Amino acid sequence: MINPMELIDRTILVTGASSGIGRETAILLSQLGAHLILVGRNSEQLEKTHELLEGTAHQVYAFDLSNVDEIPRWMKEITSASGPLHGLVHSAGVQFTRPLRIVSSEGIEEIMRINVTAALLLAKAFRQKGVSVDSGSIVYLSSVMGLVGQSGQSAYSASKGALVTLTKSLALELSRENIRVNCVAPAMVRTEMSEKMLELLTPEQAIHIEAMHPLGLGRPRDVANAIAFLLADTARWITGTTLVVDGGYTAH
């Protein structure tokens, strides 16, 4: 049987692989035959993800992406051992709700550093000679908050909106090197982080949030499927696009 999304013997680096969407993406990619390089700050959580993967030859690297200037050198080092990458998924990100009256420059810089600056430096690292193969694919994790507005999410929305336009510019620049760049924009997905956030809300507030998603809240696998599609040959002719996976959230 032909599986157009198979990733057999392809090496893919996933940031934020220690939990949530990043972990589920790594699991799915391993099921499709890929070799994974798992990246995150928490080595213990990364090892838990590693245990859930199918196949062999997966690797774990604890690395703090806030050290943005180290990213190109670090990626060069790990690929010298693992071999060149076929794909990169930037799932790591920072999110918090801050009304404008308490927004600080430090908070803005923290969000931008991981969500945007690290994304740019990862792309710069990916295109280095020997780091990626011909016809590589980069997938960023944006958010519907980068497409629509919401009170208290100004800094986060700005960072995720930046990823949408960053994707377009990088897709044009890297097309000459046969590297595709796309991103996925999910709405609320049931992860450990979102469940903790929902617990802080009143029942009425939680019901209202879920009602904003006509198909209900998503699961990590829903987003992982979209990421895998963009990495595989199914998206051979797709670059510079944002794939919205939101249960109908932005249809309002």
| Amino acid at residue number 27 | I
Which two three-digit tokens encode residue 127?
């295109």
Closest listed residue to residue 230, CA positions, set 186, 187, 173, 196: 186
Q: Do residues 144 and 246 touch, judged by C-beta distance below 8 A?
A: yes
Active site residue 61: no
Token pair for 63? 């690395």
**DSSP per residue, 54-79:** -SS--EEEE--TT-GGGHHHHHHHHH
- Tokens matching residue 56: 């062999």
User: Which residue, chain included where needed, has tokens 């829903």?
Assistant: 222
Active site residues: 156
